[in-house]
Amino acid sequence: MLFPDYRPRRLRQSQAFRRMVRETSLAVDDLILPLFAVGGKQVRHPIASMPGHFQLSTDELVKTCREAFALGIPAVILFGIPETKDPLGTQAYAPGGIVQRAVKAVKNALPELAVITDVCLCQYTDHGHCGCLEQGVVDNDASLDLIARTALSHAKAGADMVAPSDMMDGRVAEIREALDESGFSRVPIMAYSAKYCSAYYGPFRAAADSAPKFGDRRTYQMDPANALEALREVSMDVEEGADIVMVKPALAYLDVICRVREEFDLPVAAYNVSGEYAMIKAAEQMGWLDGPRVMMETLTAIKRAGADLILTYFAMDAARALRP
């Protein structure tokens, strides 16, 4: 079809037509809100590089969850900031740890809100790496047990789903086995399958106090230049028992989201990470961008690329914008 027989503008002339032929729609059902839990009471400590986000004590966290639930957001994902750190990240799997307490409080107040927990050691280790060390190197196999223990302790606290973000090889199988052995075969695993070694995590690391104290995460997180390797990572996680696979970050990896969506039939999640949020908020504060419009365009793009679920710090703002 060629001009003048075909005129693409015909179907763009009215809001009604545009709505009728729209290919992608973002829904509040797609959104997962990340939240940061700290100890104490009535703590609402602002995160400078993530305007609108706070380190929240459990009482305040429950309040925020109530708002999210009222807006129709189906799930939150919790990150913990522990009081103490040590080489083995023991507070990650302590029954009275910060995430375990936060999960209990939220599930108690809002049983219908799905509570997902991020499973990793980096906030809990004194060296800031996602696994334990052996002679200064992150030891894959020794870390697996600690990561599985963390996931199990979250399930015991009442988590509805666990999300390992450590990028150790074999962790999904290890977690699945640990959960199944202890009677948690109903708890799904959302695997951070293709998690890249990204500078877009900067604001998160400040918020969660989880930056590595030496070196970087290149020996376990993926090289941003690789896409085929992402498919291998996803395929391993699927074989090991993942229920949802994730690509992270989202914006610089839309091609990866698209390829994963095409090759696998599990739900695909994408993590619109802290740096992606910070860039838009900063430009908005400078008066350089229309923040709300860029937010919706960005989330729609992630959906269009093939994500079924989006973990995003914009979840509340987007849920408000989507309200009928």
Considering the rule CB under 6 A, would residue 205 count as an interface residue with ligand PBG? yes
Among 88, 122, 146, 299, binds Zn ion (CB under 5 A): 122
Burial 133-143 (b: 16+ CB within 10 A, else e): beeeebebeeb
DSSP 86: B
Among 130, 151, 161, 189, binds Zn ion (CB under 5 A): 130
Pick the catalytic residue from 85, 248, 281, 303: 248
Total site size for Zn ion, rule CB under 5 A: 3
Number of other CB atoms surrounding residue 255 within 10 Å: 12
Helix ranges (DSSP H) in the chain: 15-21, 58-70, 98-109, 140-157, 171-181, 202-208, 228-240, 254-263, 274-285, 291-305, 315-322
150 phi/psi in degrees, rounded to 5: -65, -50
Considering the rule CB under 6 A, would residue 125 count as an interface residue with ligand PBG? no
Which is closer to ligand PBG, CB of 60 or CB of 118?
A: 118
Considering the rule CB under 6 A, would residue 120 count as an interface residue with ligand PBG? yes
Residue 220 touches which of Zn ion, ligand PBG, none (Cβ within 5-8 Å per kind): none
Rg (CA), the chain: 20
Among 107-115, 131-139, 197-205, 289-297, which window interacts with ligand PBG (CB under 6 A)?
197-205
Residue among 247, 119, 231, 257 nearest 192 (CA): 247
Considering the rule CB under 6 A, would residue 299 count as an interface residue with ligand PBG? no
Considering the rule CB under 5 A, would residue 295 count as an interface residue with Zn ion? no
Among 196, 204, 220, 253, binds ligand PBG (CB under 6 A): 204
Rounded to whole angstroms, what are the CA distances from 180 to 99, 135, 174, 175, 176? 21, 33, 10, 8, 6
Report d(CA 108, CA 114) in Å as an integer.
12
Considering the rule CB under 5 A, would residue 187 count as an interface residue with Zn ion? no
Count CA atoms within 13 Å of residue 8 on its CB side. Answer: 2
Among 244, 270, 273, 305, binds ligand PBG (CB under 6 A): 273
User: Which residue's CB comes closest to ligand PBG?
Assistant: 204
Report whether 266 contacts 238 (CB < 8 A): yes
Verify whether residue 195 is a known catalytic residue: yes
Pick the catalytic residue from 104, 107, 156, 195: 195
Site residues, ligand PBG (CB under 6 A) = 118, 120, 122, 130, 165, 201, 204-205, 210, 273-274
Site residues, Zn ion (CB under 5 A) = 120, 122, 130
Tell me which residues are annotated as active site: 195, 248
